[in-house]
Amino acid sequence: MTYVFELNNGALNLAWVLGMVTVASYTSIRNVELKMEKLLLPVILSFTIANLSVLLYFNEFVFDLGNLLEARHLIPIGSLILGNSLRGNIVGKNLTRISAEMKTDTFTASLGASRYEALMPYTGNAFTPHSGLRSPILQLQGLSSFPG
C-alpha cells in the first residue's frame, strides 16, 4: 500500500480500486450464498460502474481535483463508497430473508401459537443485520488502510 501512495500512478491507483471492487463483489456474493460462477462477473461490472462513476464524479465536481486518479483521494474515498454499497447489499439481503420468514411466522401464529412462540423468531433475528456487516467491512478496511 505504501508503494501505491508513493508511486501515485493513475493506472496503478485505478487497478487498486478495481481490486477493492473485486473483493467487495466476491464478499457480497458469498454473504448472499448464491452461485459464484454465474454472478461474479455481473456483480463486478455493476459494482465497478456504479462505484467508479460516483467516485469520479465526487473527485471532479465536489473536490475539484486536477488529477482525478490521485492515490490520496481515490483510494480512501473509493473504499468509503464501496463500504457503503457493501453494507447496503448485506442489509438488503437480511431484510429480504426476514420478510420471507415473516410470512411463515404469521402462518404459525395463525395456527394458535402463543405470543412468545410467535415473537421468538424475530428476537433471534434482531441482531443478524449488524453481525453480518462486521467481516466484509473489516476486509475492505484492510485493503484501504493508510500507510504509516
pLDDT of residue 148: 42
What letter does residue 15 receive in the DSSP assignment?
Answer: H
Question: Is pLDDT at 142 greater than 90 in this prediction?
Answer: no
Question: Is pLDDT at 12 greater than 90 in this prediction?
Answer: yes
What predicted TM-score, i.e. pTM, was given to this entire model? 0.64
Domain definitions of the chain by residue range: 2-143
Rounded to 5°, angle at Cα 147 from 146 and 148 = 120
Region for 70 from its dihedrals, namely left if φ exceeds 0, alpha if ψ lies in -120 to 50, beta otherwise: beta
Q: Which residue has the higher pLDDT, 138 or 111?
A: 111
Residue 16: all three cell numbers together: 487498486
